[in-house]
Structures are given as structure tokens and as C-alpha cells.
Amino acid sequence: MATTASAYRNGNYSRNSLSTNNNKMERPPSVNSNPKNSLKSKSLRKSAPAALGAAKDDTGVPGRVRVAVRLRPRNAEEMVADADFPDCVELQPEVKRLKLRKNNWDSDTYEFDELLTEFASQKRVYEVVAKPVVEVSADESVLDGYNGTVMAYGQTGTGKTYTLGQLGEEDTAARGIMVRAMEDILADVSLETNSVSMSYLQLYMETIQDLLNPSNDNISIVEDPKSGDVSLPGATLVEIRNQQSFVELLRLGEAHRFAANTKLNAESSRSHAILMVHVKRSVRGRDSVLSSENGDNSPMVKSLKAPIVRKGKLVIVDLAGSERIDKSGSEGHTLEEAKSINLSLSALGKCINALAENSAHVPVRDSKLTRLLRDSFGGTARTSLVITIGPSPRHRGETASTIMFGQRAMKVENMLKLKEEFDYKSLSRRLDQQLDKFIAEHERQQKAFEDEIKRVTMEAQNQISKSERNYADALEKERSKYQKEYMESIKKLEDKWMMNQQKHAGGENIPRLKDESSNAISNGKDSGVANMEELAEMKKKLQKETLLRKVAEGEVNNLKSQLAGLKKSEALAKSDISKLQKMLEDEACQKGKLEGEIATLQSQLLQISFEADETAKRIDKGGSEEVLGGLDSLMLQVRQTQINDSENGEKASIAKLFEQVGLHKILSLLEAEDADVRIHAVKVVANLAAEETNQEKIVEAGGLKSLLMLLRSSEDETIYRVAAGAIANLAMNETNQELIMAQGGIHLLSMTAGNAKDPQTLRMIAGAIANLCGNGELLDPIDVYSSEFASCLHFKLV
């Protein structure tokens, strides 16, 4: 039964057992009422139906809680276990009547607002249960500014979560009430001017937790002391922009909801899930005319409509299923969860009983669930309840309890209240916008006026300047004219005066004076002409001499400047030549030093290589017959080799080379292009590694990494042999063993053994692996490569 109940919850109805019914339920007529909401106020509740078995007609009772019954089909377990027994309930949808069998002969009859058989589709359930609460076409709905509640109640495994929270991603026909309600809300709301937001919570073990933010696991309830409204200010409120984002949030919340496997349901919800959808819609308000401070209407101020905001809230509650411990098999923490669920449902039942009986006291503070649903039962919300039941006669007691819960809920009446208020913030924004518009218009007109004043001023100044220029020109012409006339008058007067003077001089002396004057003038003219010609000739010669002198002086100055420049250039050239000569001498000296060092290093490398070859020959003579003795004998050979390499004469030469050349220069020769240089360098490193004092220095200077790179990149047999010997020496230290393993040394040694052809190389590799085997902590990773190396060694020796 548990498996089939889980399938029903997740929307896996049998496709052959579902039929779509598009008949819409009749909506009750609207009644205009606006009382204050109070769960405790007895005066706000009207008389309820007289008997539990009869449902009163909706006429005249718009705020009554509407209750629908949904019957779950038999699951696979019930088909086998209850095959010989009829269903414990019989639904008669035509007359909205339900029969609960006591036995084969007698049954109790109950009436509900709607009966949904096991063949009812999800669409039919939404249209009957939730659509009248949500849609704007319905009277007093959430989209009209009223609060609405849709809640599912029933035994565990009867399909509450399937009815409300099914996402329907694989089958759109299986979408639950939550998804369909949001589709209708988004279809009727313009998100440009209105807003839709949601919170998704769970009540678990009397603790309110945020399903969209699991870290927010202790949200407090805040009640308005004036209106009695309940709010959760600590809950995450997410604005919804499209249907896809809403479905993603539902999926996220469902993943954080607590569930457990019981005998009655494989995925039994262990918490009450509460979805809150807040809808804010702006509607047109009354006209409001703004006037100026002196009481006169300004032509700049237009009539405005005060905006009104209607705030509707849709609460969808998926209650955890009631269960009997002996049937569900809960134990341990699951048992504690079941106790908490049953206590909260019991508190809800007590509140509904008190409301149905018009009791003076309603125990809403007995549980956080009843505090959250304060507005849903006896408050101002429009509430629709769907109770889910199963057909199995084995659970007749739980089914009867669920039916009685629905019957008592039908007696509860709410006083619906429109939630609207003036949107002063929007009005203020509109006034600010108009004020900004008027200010901008005024500034534009002021700027245009100032520009016009500037234009007129410029035109006037231009006219004045033009007039002044014309006046000055005319005045100058008049002045020139009068001055010319004045000069002409003066000349005429002088001419008249001269004529008068000549007349008074006398007529006799005039001829004689004229002759003398003419002679003197002719003599003077002749001598003056001669002197003037001589003087002009002298001036020409003087000017010529002066010009030649100036040219000569210029040429001398030019030659002097050129000479000074040449001397300066000569001095600079000498300085540059001395610098270059000094640099050449320094380069020659440095070159000589480097050539001497290279020659010394090469001679020392050749000497060390010769000594290393001699040592290797002595080792070959002493231990060639013991290779097949296993890894233990190879360990002894490597150590014996290290002892032989540390003889007094060799130590002296290696130490001398180490002190003169330096470790870093020796390691740098491992990467030389010349193969002989690399071979000599690796031999020197191998001999240095034989001493424990040098091993740490070699590793710190990067010698281990360089040796491993040689094994990886080189194909020379001698390098294989000597590098393996050097690694074997370094592997005698436990710290170096871990470094060799970390850098893949054991794998490189195994690969080198596969490529080696010389038995001496195999002995060196075997010695390195034997030293690594000495560390017990590294045996597990070594075993893999040791077996590979052993097989390779056996193949080579055979």
C-alpha cells in the first residue's frame, strides 16, 4: 500500500482510470460586507447548518467554508488485500451525497459542497476547489483584493500533496492546485504595474522553517494588535516574474521538505507545507483636484485620481497526514514527528469545533498551525477545503474521522473583507513626476526667454555698431573735404601774395639781376657736378671695401666654429674608443676565466666518470650472481655499492669538485645538450648522493626532479643506470622516499626497467625499489609496481 500511495502522491494515476470533466461549479452570489476580522469574535459568525449530515445552500452565506471530498482509487495492495470487500464509501456526485458504510446493511449519509470521484481529473479538482478563490471572474477572490485559503486534509497516503503540489513536468494534465493557481494569477495580472510575490514555508515539530532558505529555520509569528492580521516578517519573499521561476521555487522548496517512509506511505510528509502568494493590484481611485496655496486653481495643476492598491493573499496549505501509530509503524524520531503532527491537527480540530458551535473561546494559541490559519477559519479569508479519503474498509475509522472534520468545517463562516488602501507612495511619485515635468517646462521656457533676450540684445548692439561706423565714415569724408578746400584756399592766397610782391619790386632792376643770377648759377652748377661725381665714386669704393671686409670676417668666424666642433668631436671619439677598449679587455678576461672553468670542469667530470666506471666494475664483479635472490638481496647490493663509492680517494675528488664548482652548476649540466656532459654530470650527482650529508642538499636544489626528468626523457642506457643508482641512494631517506612516490618515481622506475637492456641497469632499478620497500607506509602503492617490475625483471633475465 505504501508504494501505491506514494505513486498517487507523485501524480502516477493510471491513465485508463482518469477522465476529464470540464463542468464548472456554480459560484455563490456576492454579498457586500466589510466587518473587522477576528477569530474569536462571536458576533462575526452567523448560524451554521443545523445537522452534521446536511450541507446548507450557499445562498446568503458567501463566507462559509466550502468543503469538497476527493476519493483516492484503490492501490495495488488494497486490490489484493480488500478484493473480497466493497469500498467503505460510496460517492453520489449528482446529489452531492456521500455514504459511509457501517456494515453490509447500514450506512451513514453526508452532504458536501462537491464530491470528486477517483476518476476526477486535476483540472476538475482545481476548477471546483481553488478557482473560485483565485480567479478575478469569481466574486470576492484573491485577484479582487480578498484573502483566500485552499487547504487539503486527510489520512496519510490519500493524495493531499498530489492534489496541491504536483508540478506536472512530465504530464501537464497532472499539475496541482499550486501550479494552476499561479498560471491564472499571472494571466490576469500585468507585472508592469502590479506585483506577485511568494513565500514557501513548513511547520515542522512546532517550528516554522523557510523552504526557500533552509538556514532560516526559526521564523516567528507577528500579529497586528489592531487588525489581528498574522504575518511572518522573517520569511523569504521572492517576486515572481514568470511561471517557470515559480515552478523552480516550488521544486527547491519540495526538496527541503521533511519526508519519511512509513507502512502507509513511502514518502509521507512530516511537516505542514504553507505556500503564501501576495498579489498587489493598482485600481483607479476617486478624482482629487490639487489647488495652489492661495486657494486658486493653477492652470499647471491637473486633476489626479488617487491610486488604490488592493492586496490579496492566497494561502495554500498541504497538511501532513494524520496517522495511527499502530498502522504506520512509526518509531524513534519518526514517532516524535507523528506525535507533533497529530497534536497540531488536534488543535486545528478543536478550533474548528469551537467555531462550529459558536463557542465564546477559540483556542487558537494552542498551536502555531492554528495561529497561522487564524484568518482562514473565522477570519476574513475565503476558504476552500478539500478532504482526501481512501476506499479501503480497513481504514474506515480514519475515513470517518476525516469526513466528520469536513462536516464541522462546513459550519465555519468567515466575514470576507476587501483589502485595499490608498497608494500614497504611488500618488507621491506621480506628483513628483508632474512637479519635475513642470519644473523642466519652466526651465525650458526660462531658457528660451533668456535666449530671446540675448538675441535681441545682440541685434541691437550690431545695429548700434553699424550706425557708429557709418557716422564715423561720413564724418571722415566731411573732414577730408573741408581740409582739402582749406588747403586750396591757402594756396590761392599765397599765389595772390606772390603776385602782389612781384608787382611792388620795380621794373628796371629786373633784367640785370636776371643775367647775374643766371651766370652764377651756371658756374656753381659746373663745379658742384664735378665734386658730386667724385664724392659718389669714393662712396662706391668705400661701400665695396666694407662689403668685402664683412664677407672675410664671416668666413673666418665660420672656420673658427668648424674647428671648435671638430676638436670637440675628436675628444668624444677618443673617450668612446677608450671605453670600448676597456669593455673589450673585460670581455676577453671574462672569456678566459670561463674557458678555464669549463676546461677544469670537463677534466674533473672525466676524472669522476673514470672513477665511477671503475667503481661500477668492482660492483659488477662482486654482486652479479646475486640478482635473482629477490628484492632483499638487491637492497644489500645497493648499500654495498654506496659503501664502495665512499672510499677515501673518491670522496676527496668529489668533495673538491663540489666545493669548486657548486651543486647548482652540476645540476644545470643535467640539462646540457651534449650527451657526454649529461652522462658525466649524472655520475657526479650519483656519487654525491651516496653521502647522507649531500642528499638533503641535492633534493632541495631540485636534483631529484632533474633525475626523474632524465629517466622520463632520455633513451641512453648509461643515463638509465647511473640515474637509477642516484635515486637508489636518495631513497635511503624516508623523507625522500615520500617525495619519490609523490612525483611518480616508482612508476618511472618500472617503465625504465621495461626499456632497459643492461643487467646492471636492472640491478640499479631493483636497488631503488628495494630502498622504497623499506618504508612500510608506502607498501600499498609500491606493490602494484613491484609486481610489474618483478615480472619484467624475470623476463629480462630469462
Over the chain, what is the mean pLDDT?
77
Cell numbers linked to 484? 582739402
Contact 634, 627 (CB under 8 A): yes
Phi/psi of residue 41, nearest 5 degrees? -70, 115
Over residues 447-456, mean pLDDT:
92
> Considering the domain boundaries, does residue 212 fall inside one?
yes
Give the residue, 623 or 184, on which the prediction is more confident: 184
Residues linked to residue 154 through DSSP beta bridges, in sequence order: 388
Grade residue 783 by pLDDT with cuts at 50, 70 and 90: low
pLDDT tens digits, 20-74: 333 333 333 333 333 333 333 333 333 333 333 333 344 457 789 999 999 999 8
- 331 and 410 inside one domain: yes
Of 228, 14, 29, the closest CA to residue 139 belongs to 29
Q: Decide if pLDDT at 150 tops 80.
A: yes
- 329 and 442 inside one domain: no
Of 423, 399, 362, 407, the closest CA to residue 155 belongs to 399
Grade residue 10 by pLDDT with cuts at 50, 70 and 90: very low
User: Has 156 been labeled as part of a binding site?
Assistant: yes
Q: What is the pLDDT of residue 166?
A: 92
- 440 and 366 inside one domain: no
Give the residue, 152 or 763, on which the prediction is more confident: 152
Contact 279, 189 (CB under 8 A): yes
Lowest mean pLDDT among 27-36, 105-114, 265-274: 27-36
Q: Containing domain of residue 216, as a range?
A: 130-284+306-389+401-422
Q: What is the pLDDT of residue 657?
A: 58
Q: Decide if pLDDT at 465 tops 80.
A: yes
Q: What is the pLDDT of residue 7?
A: 39
First to last CA, the chain: 70
Three-state secondary structure string covering 171-210: CHHHCCHHHHHHHHHHHHCCCCCCEEEEEEEEEECCEEEE
Amino acid in the structure at residue 58: D
Over residues 542-550, mean pLDDT:
82
Residues linked to residue 389 through DSSP beta bridges, in sequence order: 71
Contact 308, 421 (CB under 8 A): yes
- 683 and 731 inside one domain: yes
Grade residue 276 by pLDDT with cuts at 50, 70 and 90: very high
Over residues 366-387, mean pLDDT:
92
Lowest mean pLDDT among 138-142, 236-240, 645-649, 712-716: 645-649
Give the residue, 616 or 142, on which the prediction is more confident: 142
User: Has 155 been labeled as part of a binding site?
Assistant: yes
Rounded CA-CA distance 600/595 in Å is 9
> How many folded domains does the chain comprise?
3
Over residues 781-792, mean pLDDT:
54
Q: What does each C-alpha distance from 406 to 261, 388, 684 come to in angstroms?
A: 27, 10, 96
- 136 and 221 inside one domain: yes
- 412 and 441 inside one domain: no
Q: Decide if pLDDT at 286 tops 90.
A: no
Q: Decide if pLDDT at 297 tops 60.
A: no
- 478 and 360 inside one domain: no
Q: Decide if pLDDT at 405 tops 60.
A: yes
Q: Decide if pLDDT at 797 tops 60.
A: no
> Considering the domain boundaries, does residue 471 fall inside one?
yes
User: Has 160 been labeled as part of a binding site?
Assistant: yes
Over residues 254-273, mean pLDDT:
83
Q: Decide if pLDDT at 595 tops 80.
A: no
Lowest mean pLDDT among 92-96, 222-226, 692-696: 692-696
User: Has 157 been labeled as part of a binding site?
Assistant: yes
Q: What is the pLDDT of residue 703?
A: 83
Rounded CA-CA distance 710/720 in Å is 8
Tracing cell 668666413 back to the chain, one arrives at 555
> Considering the domain boundaries, does residue 531 fall inside one?
no
> Considering the domain boundaries, does residue 187 fall inside one?
yes
User: Has 378 been labeled as part of a binding site?
Assistant: no
Q: What is the pLDDT of residue 323?
A: 76
- 375 and 447 inside one domain: no
- 172 and 257 inside one domain: yes
> Considering the domain boundaries, does residue 538 fall inside one?
no
- DSSP-derived pairing of the beta strands 272-283 and 308-318: antiparallel
Of 769, 771, 682, 789, the closest CA to residue 734 belongs to 771
Give the residue, 7 or 760, on which the prediction is more confident: 760
Grade residue 307 by pLDDT with cuts at 50, 70 and 90: confident
Rounded CA-CA distance 417/378 in Å is 12
Q: What is the pLDDT of residue 613?
A: 63
Q: Looking at residue 317, which CATH number applies to its domain?
A: 3.40.850.10
What burial letters (b/e) apply to 54-65, b meaning 16+ CB within 10 Å? ebbeeeebbbbb
- 682 and 777 inside one domain: yes
Q: Looking at residue 786, which CATH number applies to its domain?
A: 1.25.10.10
Over residues 484-500, mean pLDDT:
86
Percent of the residues in the chain that have a pLDDT greater than 90, as a whole number? 29
- 413 and 273 inside one domain: yes
Q: What is the pLDDT of residue 163?
A: 95
Q: What is the pLDDT of residue 370?
A: 93
Radius of gyration in angstroms for the set of CA atoms belonging to the chain, rounded to a whole number: 58
Cell numbers linked to 146? 480578498
Q: Decide if pLDDT at 124 tops 70.
A: yes
Residues linked to residue 77 through DSSP beta bridges, in sequence order: none
Q: What is the pLDDT of residue 33?
A: 36
Residues linked to residue 108 through DSSP beta bridges, in sequence order: 100
Residues whose CB falls within 8 Å of the CB of residue 283, separated by 6 or more in sequence, listed in order: 307, 308, 309, 310, 420
